[in-house]
Structure 1
Amino acid sequence: MKIAVINWRDPWHPAAGGAEAYAWEMAGRLARSGHSVWFVTARAPGQRRRAEREGVRIARMGGPYTVYPRVLAWLLGRRQAFDVVLDCQNGIPFFTPWVLPRRTGIFCVVHHVHDRQFDVHLPRWLAAVGRFLEGPASRWTYRRHQSVAVSPSTVHAMRERLGWTGPIHIVPNGVTVTTVPREPRSAAPRLVCVGRLVAHKRVGLLLDAVPELRERWPGLTVDVIGRGPEEARLRAGLPEGVTMHGYLPDEDKESLIASAWLQVSASQGEGWGLCVLEAAALGVPTVAFDVDGLRDAVRHGETGWLVPEGADLGKGIAAALDEVEGAAAEAYGERCRAWAAGFSWDRSAERMEALIEGRHLEPGWEGP
């Protein structure tokens, strides 16, 4: 089949995150299955307009906002060229049904509902436009098309907050961990936080909790891995014991994670929380707020802990440190690794391929 995977960014974009990893893992595996795949995306400064990787042809065009009309124009000029389009919604979708023939199989891929996050990132008037495009405009545009969500809470949010009426299938994230020697756990408590440094990730809540945590555990350290527009603001007020690493190669990142006692996510909401699965694969449990996506990725009391939204994150971390301070740490690690082992990109891509080829899918959550 001829397939176009359309995503806001590619994995080599400076602001790439979990959505980009998901889109690329799908594209690469579909190409290896024999399909002809294009990856259509925005172009960051310094990136080539055309490239090819792993059998996938890449077309880059436009910036954060102009990518939308540019992609629609690109598709309009090739409206007979594709059998299937994966239209990935990163806040708003690309509205590809507007320019493609009815025979094209269009699947709207949704990681999480952004409604509240528009207010965090945009002026009030533009946030209202974002909510309209994500809600009524998308609901009408994709009403005759199938959708893909990455977690049960995303399905729930699409139904309840966006009023989505069409069929929604779950194709979860996978996990890839580079083979590295198992790092010994740090002797003193060590926390790690992995992800893009953007406002809705709320890394500041973790940093605010550090001084009080260090009163009880004076040797406690925190490693923040990632980059983004919030980096300069966060660096300006770093408490003692915190190191901000920026971007790290996978092997270095995984070594730091594997040595941590806990991973912490203060995010306002996720589609899934890919960093949770990556940490679990290395035997590290996660403390996170009980919000969309993260409540699916973290099994409360087994592979981590969910703190009620609005509660004191520091107290939640302290309670979790008490749990993993002794002999129970290894049991949590084993449960984390067992949970992560049930997810793979190969398995998720096989499910996506079955969906776009029209083969039967069992409904519901396909995780372990």
Structure 2
Amino acid sequence: MDILFLNWRDTRHPEGGGSEVYVERVAGELVARGHRVTLLCAAHDQGSAEETTASGIRLIRRGGRGTVYAAAALTLLAGRLGTGPLAGRRPDLVVDVCNGVPFLSPLYAGRPTVVLVHHVHREQWPVVLGRGRARFGWWLESALAPRVYRRCRYVAVSAATRDELAGLGVAESRIEVIHNGTPEVIGAPVRKTPYPSLLVLGRLVPHKRVELALRALATLSAELPGLELVVAGQGWWADRLRAEAAALGVADRTRFTGYVSEADKHALLGSAWAVVVPSLKEGWGLTVVEAGARGTPAVAFRGAGGVREAVVDGRTGLLAGDPDDFVAQLRRLLTDGALRRRLGEAARAHAASFTWAAAGAAFARVVEPIGQRVP
């Protein structure tokens, strides 16, 4: 089969994250099964217009943050006319990845579509766009998309996302839950820091709510004089976060690393006492299982979507109900070494139960029967 993924970003994009990892790892598994896979995403200065990844995925980069959706439609339509990068390679199946804004590929692709959803963005639209534009974004996601995709199969990365889609009118019988795999651990084992340490890892954008980690740091610093927070990642909200750390008086306890390599990321995940996930919403919580693979438990919010599946509350990490409880759960974990070790070992076993091979095989079971029916 010839399979085309439409996603707003790829893993080399400066703002790429867990969604992009999922797409490329699953796509790589499909390549390994003998399928031809193309990923069409936004252009950026970290990659060329066209290239092939080490796992055999063909990348086509067109458009930008807001124009990649139109660029995808134009590229597919041009391919149907025999021109452009898709000329002579009309896909058997399109995987339309909805990160809030849908590609609406059934309107122009002329091929069956499978819809991949990481999470529903109900709470995030106002945080990212403000009230006016948020209403339009929510209409796109909650009203227009379900209608356009009404005959399509869906893949959700967590049961929480499946339930949210069902709340938008998507029949549960059309939704398959396929969890993330756990990225491989690289590098030698590392010791935990000799002082209490927390790690936030991910894109620095408003809905990740890193401010809550900074405020927890400020609250707990008097009780734990050696406490340090590492904020690893990049994003347009970084300067605001540095200003917040200074305003809270914890700039000297906060280390902003910017972008980190895979090796450095794993060293940070291994050395931290806990990984902190204050995000408003996650489809799954890839950072949680990455940390778990290193024996590091997580503290997150119970209402943050799929995070409550990535974290087994009280067994592999702790879930909080509100910001005050978030501080309380961090205090509990940082001051109880036996609890921390027990949760860390359970997190390691939990992370090992999720593999990309299993995710790829499950994804193939969804797409192969659909794409192979195309004449």
Map 1:1-368 → 2, pairs under 5 A: 1-45=1-45, 47-54=47-54, 55-79=56-80, 81-101=90-110, 104-160=111-167, 162-165=168-171, 167-238=174-245, 239=250, 240-291=252-303, 292-323=305-336, 325=337, 327-358=338-369
Separation of aligned partners in 2, 1:61 and 1:134? 22
Separation of aligned partners in 1, 2:122 and 2:157? 17
Deviation at 1:316, TM superposition (A): 2.1
Separation of aligned partners in 2, 1:164 and 1:125? 26
Secondary structure in structure 2 of the residue aligned to 1:357: helix
Deviation at 1:248, TM superposition (A): 0.7
Q: CA offsets, 1:111-138, max 9 Å, x none?
A: 0000221111113222111111101101
Deviation at 1:254, TM superposition (A): 0.9
Separation of aligned partners in 2, 1:354 and 1:309? 39
Separation of aligned partners in 2, 1:310 and 1:342? 30
Deviation at 1:218, TM superposition (A): 0.5
Superposition RMSD in Å: 1.5
Give the conservation status (yes or no) of the 8 Å contact 1:178–1:250: no
Question: Which range is displaced more, 70-79 or 105-114?
Answer: 70-79
Give the conservation status (yes or no) of the 8 Å contact 2:284–2:307: yes
Give the conservation status (yes or no) of the 8 Å contact 1:222–1:243: yes
Separation of aligned partners in 1, 2:40 and 2:281? 26
- Structure 2: stretches of 5+ with no match in the other structure: 81-88, 371-375
Deviation at 1:310, TM superposition (A): 4.8
Deviation at 1:358, TM superposition (A): 2.3
Deviation at 1:30, TM superposition (A): 1.2
Give the conservation status (yes or no) of the 8 Å contact 2:119–2:161: yes
Q: CA offsets, 1:274-298, max 9 Å, x none?
A: 0001000100000001121111110
Question: Which range is displaced more, 178-187 or 241-250?
Answer: 178-187
Q: CA offsets, 1:221-253, max 9 Å, x none?
A: 111111101101111232131111111111111
Matched to 1:267, the amino acid is S
Question: Which range is displaced more, 163-172 or 57-66?
Answer: 163-172
Separation of aligned partners in 1, 2:33 and 2:322? 42
Give the conservation status (yes or no) of the 8 Å contact 1:105–1:356: no
- Structure 1: stretches of 5+ with no match in the other structure: 360-368
Separation of aligned partners in 2, 1:311 and 1:209? 9
Give the conservation status (yes or no) of the 8 Å contact 1:139–1:165: no
Q: CA offsets, 1:165-192, max 9 Å, x none?
A: 3610011101113322111112221111
Matched to 2:320, the amino acid is V
Residues 56 and 295 of structure 1: CA distance in aligned 2, closer, same or farther (over 3 Å)? same
Deviation at 1:311, TM superposition (A): 3.8
Give the conservation status (yes or no) of the 8 Å contact 2:26–2:360: yes
Separation of aligned partners in 2, 1:337 and 1:237? 33
Q: Which runs of 4+ in 1 moved over 6 A?
A: none
Give the conservation status (yes or no) of the 8 Å contact 1:282–1:337: yes
Residues 120 and 328 of structure 1: CA distance in aligned 2, closer, same or farther (over 3 Å)? closer
With normalisation by structure 2, the TM-score equals 0.91
Separation of aligned partners in 2, 1:178 and 1:163? 39
Give the conservation status (yes or no) of the 8 Å contact 2:182–2:289: yes
Give the conservation status (yes or no) of the 8 Å contact 1:87–1:96: yes
Give the conservation status (yes or no) of the 8 Å contact 1:226–1:247: yes
Matched to 2:369, the amino acid is G
Separation of aligned partners in 1, 2:92 and 2:129? 35
Residues 197 and 125 of structure 1: CA distance in aligned 2, closer, same or farther (over 3 Å)? same
Matched to 1:329, the amino acid is R
Give the conservation status (yes or no) of the 8 Å contact 2:73–2:109: no
Separation of aligned partners in 2, 1:26 and 1:76? 26
Give the conservation status (yes or no) of the 8 Å contact 1:4–1:85: yes
- What is residue 363 of structure 1 aligned with on the other side? none
Give the conservation status (yes or no) of the 8 Å contact 1:93–1:108: no
Q: CA offsets, 1:120-167, max 9 Å, x none?
A: 11132221111111011011011111000000000111112x222361
Deviation at 1:330, TM superposition (A): 2.8
Q: Identity over the aligned pairs, expressed in percent?
A: 37
Give the conservation status (yes or no) of the 8 Å contact 1:178–1:251: no
Deviation at 1:312, TM superposition (A): 4.0
Separation of aligned partners in 1, 2:144 and 2:294? 41
Give the conservation status (yes or no) of the 8 Å contact 2:97–2:115: yes
